[in-house]
Amino acid sequence: MSSPTQPAADYIGVDVSGVTLRAALVAHDGRVTERREAALERDNVAVQVARVAAELRDVSPRVAALGVGIPGLVNRETDCVIVSADLPSVVRSDLHAELRRATGLRVELENDANAAAYGEYSVGAGCGSRNMFYVTIGSGIGGALILDGRVWLGTSGFAGEFGHITIDPEGNECSCGNTGCLETYASAPNIVRRTHDRLFRDGTSSLSRLSMNRDFTAADIAREARNGDDFALLMIERTGRFIGTAVAAVINLLNIECIVMGGGVMEAGDLILDPIIREAGRRSFQPSFESAKIVTATLGGDAVSVGAALLARDSAAPA
Amino acid sequence: MSSPTQPAADYIGVDVSGVTLRAALVAHDGRVTERREAALERDNVAVQVARVAAELRDVSPRVAALGVGIPGLVNRETDCVIVSADLPSVVRSDLHAELRRATGLRVELENDANAAAYGEYSVGAGCGSRNMFYVTIGSGIGGALILDGRVWLGTSGFAGEFGHITIDPEGNECSCGNTGCLETYASAPNIVRRTHDRLFRDGTSSLSRLSMNRDFTAADIAREARNGDDFALLMIERTGRFIGTAVAAVINLLNIECIVMGGGVMEAGDLILDPIIREAGRRSFQPSFESAKIVTATLGGDAVSVGAALLARDSAAPA
């Protein structure tokens, strides 16, 4: 513990959940004082994380711990990554031991969605609430739950599987084997797929013209919606309603204080947040809806790294 | 606290959630040693509960506290019942103060579903698990959540609203204003309604003959299913699948250890439990499904009274 005459410790958080590694030097109060980014070296994660940690320790001599957000499941007892469909190399190696050896720091590994949730809870959109559900909607859909200020992992570490909630029992087939999972409607690739499927009905959309030149993305759809294209707006609005149906299940089951919506798809802003809130309101038990805040995430690309750093800060054994 | 030389205390639990008041004298280990039942005096609840408590104290001189399960919402800070659609008289009166005055006992009021959940958790089907979801399916559908051994109330006391989870976004209108709530398919009155709606398609069902003489009930449908009536079996099986869809949402969000299914509709036994488990398995994230037990409640009509008594036992301030 730092005494009043010592400066407070800093923490390093690293996000290895995307194609880009993002690292942050985080002050004790959650402020990011320095960032690093690089293409993720997928088969060399431990060495790359140790290298960026060394760079950030050149900036601050007071780094007390290192947190790493992983696209997978971490066994709390062994500190091993036991499942990672997106980054299998970290399952084969003992990332935790390698990082501890290379840096000499206390190391905390955490699932990326859990880390992002903890970041938003601590210093982002969920700040001030004790109970929070975090949703990330991008190429996939993830979720994480904070109850009484702690990440709620569930019985085997899988709590918060928001993307595989059934929102239409007779809907599309999902890769998980179910039909009608939220992910089959509202992930970025599925927004693009649904938009393609319907585009032939509306030749006047600016997306029709765009699709003649190149494949469009969910970000293109959001941009055209902001520019006033009615068809793009309709697709974003419907996506929001699908998400809102699943948000209502969270509100009904948990009577949760705050739902923070993050991930690339939420960059559509109020165009998607408003239909999410409307549909959640329609499909929730009203007293529970009235006590739930539904807000967009505020940490953006820093969520995982900041959350991992703050989990490392808060998991220190009491002095 | 009792010393080793004193016999352990007993507790009284009373269930005022139905047309019948049910009271139980409950030993410290959860065994019911005495029961009382009477038609509930809906406008005279405090006096009636105090009377039955006095009767049970004639049986045991060691009663330490009284727990009451209420069909409504209890404010934890004031001990007042703040909402009760089914028993409005207990909102107008100060039930907690009246019972304390009349009995001289420490009094704990709790929502009936929460009390039943705590009973099943402590000495029923959920015994041995730390995290449990309880569902009751009868004239209405309720739920309650136990996390780390405690009733999880949510932000404003409404957690566990299982009956209003949307299972079909374009389904029937619900009294809550939403469409496609589980309750519109799977509560006892709605099982009867769905069966009536489809009965004309199957004149060979024994329910067709029964319906010529009198209205049938959900219990009749379950009985005819057990007797091998194909149509009744189909209706029970479909009901199970609707319930299983909502159970999957609980498993996906919470990765919960144990789901206990209670209420009159579950008296259909494995005929309804099997399709619930099958559909939940189909619609859940597999690792979470594999670590979830889905079982029928074991306390039957004692669940609320026993749970209320044990909540009274466990909410005692430390000596």
List A residues 290-319 in contact with B (Cβ-Cβ < 8 A).
290-292
Q: What mean pLDDT value characterizes chain A?
A: 93
How far apart (Å, rounded) are the C-alpha atoms in residues B12 and B57? 9
- Say if residue A152 is in the same domain as residue A279: yes
List B residues 14-73 in contact with A (Cβ-Cβ < 8 A).
none
- Say if residue A105 is in the same domain as residue A213: no
- Say if residue A87 is in the same domain as residue A14: yes
- Per residue in A246-304, pLDDT tens? 999 999 999 999 999 999 999 999 999 999 999 999 999 999 999 999 999 999 999 99
Token digits of residue A234? 């309709």
Q: Given an 8 Å threshold on Cβ–Cβ distance, is B252 in contact with A162?
A: yes
Q: Is residue B3 part of a domain?
A: no
Shortest Cα–Cα distance, A190 to chain B (Å): 19
SS3 of chain A: CCCCCCCCCEEEEEECCCCEEEEEEEECCCCEEEEEEEECCCCCHHHHHHHHHHHHHHHCCCEEEEEEEECCEECCCCCCEEECCCCCHHHHCCHHHHHHHHHCCEEEEEEHHHHHHHHHHHHCCCCCCCCEEEEEECCCEEEEEEECCEEECCCCCCCCCHHHCECCCCCCECCCCCECECHHHHCHHHHHHHHHHHHCCCCCCHHHHHHHHCCCCHHHHHHHHHCCCHHHHHHHHHHHHHHHHHHHHHHHHHCCCEEEEECHHHHHCHHHHHHHHHHHHHHCCHHHHHCCEEEECCCHHHHHHHHHHHHHHHCCCCC
Q: Given an 8 Å threshold on Cβ–Cβ distance, is B156 in contact with A291?
A: yes
Instruction: Tell whether the model's pLDDT for residue A94 goes beyond 50.
Output: yes
Instruction: Tell whether the model's pLDDT for residue A178 goes beyond 70.
Output: yes
Token digits of residue A204? 């006047």
* Lowest mean pLDDT segment, chosen from A204-213, A301-310, B242-251: A204-213
User: Which of chain B's residues have a Cβ under 8 Å away from the Cβ of A165?
Assistant: 248-249, 252-253
How far apart (Å, rounded) are the C-alpha atoms in residues B11 and B313? 7
- Reported as a pLDDT band with limits 50, 70 and 90, residue A202 is low
Q: Is residue A148 part of a domain?
A: yes
- Per residue in A182-191, pLDDT tens? 999 999 999 9
Q: Is residue B93 part of a domain?
A: yes
Considering only alpha carbons, which residue of chain B is nearest residue A241?
B169
Is A149 at the interface with chain B, CB within 8 A? Answer: no
Higher pLDDT, B204 or A40: A40
pLDDT of residue B319: 44
Is A9 at the interface with chain B, CB within 8 A? Answer: no
Q: Residue A288: which of B154, B256, B292 has the nearest Cβ?
A: B154
Dihedrals φ, ψ of A268, to 5°?
-70, -10
Q: Is residue A93 part of a domain?
A: yes
Q: Which residue has the tokens 């739950």?
A: A145
Token digits of residue B246? 């909502």
Considering only alpha carbons, which residue of chain B is nearest residue A181?
B283
Shortest Cα–Cα distance, A254 to chain B (Å): 5
User: Which of chain A's residues have a Cβ under 8 Å away from the Cβ of B282?
Assistant: 177-178
Which domain covers residue B222, as residue numbers? 128-298
Q: Do the strands A293-296 and A258-262 form a parallel or antiparallel pair, or are they unpaired?
A: parallel
Instruction: Say if CB A115 and CB A310 are below 8 A apart.
Output: no
Distances (CA, A) of B188 to A250, B171, B218, B273: 25, 17, 5, 15
- Say if residue A177 is in the same domain as residue A290: yes
How far apart (Å, rounded) are the C-alpha atoms in residues A258 and A255? 9
Q: Is residue A111 part of a domain?
A: yes
Is B74 at the interface with chain A, CB within 8 A? Answer: no
- Say if residue A142 is in the same domain as residue A259: yes
- Say if residue B52 is in the same domain as residue B97: yes
Q: Given an 8 Å threshold on Cβ–Cβ distance, is A131 in contact with B154?
A: yes
Q: How many CA atoms lie within 13 A of A130 on its CB side?
A: 5
Is A248 at the interface with chain B, CB within 8 A? Answer: yes
- Per residue in A287-300, pLDDT tens? 999 999 999 999 99
Q: Is residue B1 part of a domain?
A: no
Assign residue B283 the CATH number of its domain: 3.30.420.40
- Say if residue B233 is in the same domain as residue B278: yes
- Say if residue A153 is in the same domain as residue A270: yes
User: Which of chain A's residues have a Cβ under 8 Å away from the Cβ of B177?
Assistant: 282, 286
Instruction: Say if CB B251 and CB B288 are below 8 A apart.
Output: yes
Q: Do the strands A106-111 and B10-15 form a parallel or antiparallel pair, or are they unpaired?
A: unpaired
pLDDT of residue B317: 56
The residue length of chain B stands at: 319
Q: Given an 8 Å threshold on Cβ–Cβ distance, is A145 in contact with B254?
A: yes
pLDDT of residue B201: 66
Shortest Cα–Cα distance, A9 to chain B (Å): 32
Q: Is residue A5 part of a domain?
A: no
| Plot region of A255 (φ>0 → left; ψ -120 to 50 → alpha; else → beta) | left
Query: Strand, helix or coil at B86?
Result: coil
Burial A165-204 (b: 16+ CB within 10 A, else e): bbbbbebeebebebbbbbbbbbbbebbbebbeeebeebee
User: Which of chain A's residues have a Cβ under 8 Å away from the Cβ of B257?
Assistant: 155
- Say if residue A55 is in the same domain as residue A77: yes
Considering only alpha carbons, which residue of chain B is nearest residue A161?
B252
* Domains of chain B: total: 2
Is A157 at the interface with chain B, CB within 8 A? Answer: yes
Q: Is residue B112 part of a domain?
A: yes
Is A253 at the interface with chain B, CB within 8 A? Answer: yes
Q: What is the mean pLDDT of residues A190-202?
A: 85
Is B211 at the interface with chain A, CB within 8 A? Answer: no
- Say if residue B286 is in the same domain as residue B309: no
- Say if residue B90 is in the same domain as residue B173: no
Considering only alpha carbons, which residue of chain A is nearest residue B180?
A283
Instruction: Tell whether the model's pLDDT for residue A47 goes beyond 80.
Output: yes
How many angstroms separate the first and last alpha carbons of chain B? 6
Residues of chain B predicted below pLDDT 50:
2, 319
How far apart (Å, rounded) are the C-alpha atoms in residues B175 and B172? 10
- Say if residue A215 is in the same domain as residue A185: yes
Higher pLDDT, A121 or B216: A121
Is A287 at the interface with chain B, CB within 8 A? Answer: yes
- Per residue in B62-81, pLDDT tens? 999 999 999 999 988 888 99
Instruction: Tell whether the model's pLDDT for residue A100 goes beyond 50.
Output: yes
Considering only alpha carbons, which residue of chain B is nearest residue A246?
B166
- Per residue in B76-127, pLDDT tens? 888 899 888 889 898 888 999 999 999 999 999 999 999 999 999 999 999 9
